Amino acid sequence: MPVHQRPLSPHLQIYKPQLTSFTSIVHRATGVFLSLGTIALVYWLSAIAGGEESYKTAQGLIGSWIGLLLLFAWSVSLFYHLANGIRHLFWDMGHGLEIKTAEANAKLVLLVTVVLTGLAWLLAFIL
């Protein structure tokens, strides 16, 4: 019996990525990144409890350019995951499941993420 080489679904040569599929993938990735960031938060809290020397070491790591970059990425992940999680709660109630509404809500999630991240970092540097 001959074996036919047929395309698997989704056929990657004709599949057009959608904003809603992108937001779904990013939601999962930000959840993983938030978990890893929580480990860093526990390290920082342990450093506070460990005394002045361990706190200075932790602050040195967090205050470095790589630490600030990771902190920024963690805050983007936090606000994105929050906004998209609220979107999922509405979906669970049966609201916003139409394609046009889902795409508009995906854009709103991205906008809310940018605004909340910007506000958080603005306040962090002002205060």
Q: What amino acid is encoded at 37 in this protein?
A: G
19 three-state secondary structure: helix
Residues at the binding site are 81
Q: Between vectors from CA 46 to CA 38 and to CA 124, what angle results, nearest 5°?
A: 60
Residues at the binding site for heme are 81
Q: What is the DSSP letter of 93?
A: T
Please state, in angstroms and rounded to a whole number, the distance separating the CA atoms of residues 20 and 17. 9
